[in-house]
Structure 1
């Protein structure tokens, strides 16, 4: 599992909760902040911090919160970070000097720890939920004067690079068990690549990015595309290359560094998709042939042969054992 810390105000006496939350946020962002809330008397907050090398990703849920980063606090301490904020439920109302902007759910904003700012995170009577990412400025593959142009810019997290970025974050946060602490820096590199690509796209400056960053980001886009089209039996290296406006030979070169051909990876993803469906009690009345078709296998015999070769058991026997195991735990 990745290095991860968890904070819950429910674990503390009511009188200590808001002060502890303020201290926690200050440590997470590595920046002094003034924090205020109308609910300070009995504050509710929950935060996880995933350590990905020098990159920190922290999903959080909390009551309404207002924080300020003032010139005095900047002079006191500045870690030279970019902070990426993404509301999932609620709104961030942000004020820089003479500019004010509101960011709703799945709208991505960037803050500079060297700039004064005031943020009001609110979700009416409900809890605010969002994701914060801390990135040292020197890690991004873009000139700082370019990133400065994004400080009041809204980037969508519902389409394009923004959607790919949030999809990666939500999948990572949903299950960290498959990873070891040593995987943290590599995952941090993926975050940096995605943020750099997102910013470059918003600035129409893709050519500024290093070739390695563009290649790694393209592989992530291709993987996301494949995951969304596993049901299509026409999903092949040729159609994938065409959808991404690259040659088949370049597609194969991209996956040489992945230690698996694109065709083998597609096949493995289809089998995993089918395996999860077979083990899902909600799918117990869906035929094995239908599950195979939804995973991109047009012939039941081909699916059965491939499944047995991969997992050492027939699809029917696997489903029976998986569902029987669930029943025995009830």
Structure 2
């Protein structure tokens, strides 16, 4: 059994999520009153910012992938990540990401540094698609429920250049002031959240070969941006590269 205590968290880095994939043996991962029972091929997320407990049944082998929490949250419609929930690797997107992780692990020695951005982007795409099917079961209070509902509305209208606090508040049945208060309570403004989601989706298309015939401006405008220079600056600030540099790197 391995226990990560609050004291250890205070002494370490609490800005990551760990994606655990069970390769051999069995394990139970516990965090925040959740328990993930892992058989070979199953996966679960653990948040480094909270105490956790790992219990193993004899010999076992796992792959552990460290993902910056902010990176993972920015690519999900629901910012709240439900840790220690079993993601089955038997079928669906769970099976896709299981095979991707296993093959990447086995072929790691042959993957060149120039390929790292493409591997990273593919992993985030697979993982975010997988987690979209795991909407949080428990939300703390009415405000949390309202925020998830609001973010669903944002996701449904993310490509609309007219997306605004007034529009979303009206569709949510609350005042604009209440809307801003909900986002402020979660540590991010409405505008920052929308911009980050749009940038993440634009980045996803820039990395997708099926959109290789789409210009950067076309992709930017599709995701609600109406100024190419502003999109390029925002993209660089968020990801450290211009859209063109990012596309070339892939």
Question: Does the aligned pair in 2 maintain the 1:193–1:216 contact within 8 Å?
Answer: no
Cα distance in 1 for residues equivalent to 2:51 and 2:114: 35
Q: How many residues align?
A: 154
Q: Which has the higher contact order (CA 8 A, sep 6+)?
A: 2
- Does residue 128 (structure 1) correspond to residue 60 (structure 2)? The answer is yes
Q: Give 2:125's aligned residue.
A: 193
- Does residue 211 (structure 1) correspond to residue 210 (structure 2)? The answer is no
Question: Does the aligned pair in 1 maintain the 2:118–2:207 contact within 8 Å?
Answer: no
Q: Give 1:146's aligned residue.
A: 80
Cα distance in 2 for residues equivalent to 1:171 and 1:99: 29
Cα offset, 1:104, TM superposition: 1.7
Give the 3-state SS of the residue equivalent to 2:119 in structure 1.
helix
Cα offset, 1:203, TM superposition: 2.1
Structure 2 counterparts to residues 253-272 of structure 1, below 5 A = 253-254=210-211, 256=213
Cα distance in 2 for residues equivalent to 1:158 and 1:217: 27
Unaligned ranges ≥5, structure 1: 1-65, 220-252, 258-330
Question: Does the aligned pair in 2 maintain the 1:197–1:214 contact within 8 Å?
Answer: no
Give the 3-state SS of the residue equivalent to 2:133 in structure 1.
helix
> CA deviation digits over 1:85-129, x for unaligned, max 9?
11122112123354444222222110000010110123x3xx312
Q: Give 1:264's aligned residue.
A: none
Change (3 A) 1:98 1:160: closer
Cα distance in 2 for residues equivalent to 1:216 and 1:161: 22
Unaligned ranges ≥5, structure 2: 137-151, 159-196, 215-250
Q: Give 1:88's aligned residue.
A: 23
Cα offset, 1:135, TM superposition: 0.2
Cα offset, 1:256, TM superposition: 4.2
Structure 2 counterparts to residues 101-140 of structure 1, below 5 A = 101-122=36-57, 124=58, 127-140=59-72
Question: TM-score, length-normalised on structure 1?
Answer: 0.41
Aligned CA-pair RMSD: 3.0
Change (3 A) 1:97 1:188: closer
Point out 4+ residue stretches in structure 1 off by more than 3 angstroms: 97-101, 204-219, 253-257
Highest CA radius of gyration, 1 or 2?
1
Give the 3-state SS of the residue equivalent to 1:78 in structure 2.
coil
Cα distance in 2 for residues equivalent to 1:69 and 1:99: 15
Cα offset, 1:173, TM superposition: 2.2
Cα distance in 2 for residues equivalent to 1:167 and 1:100: 23
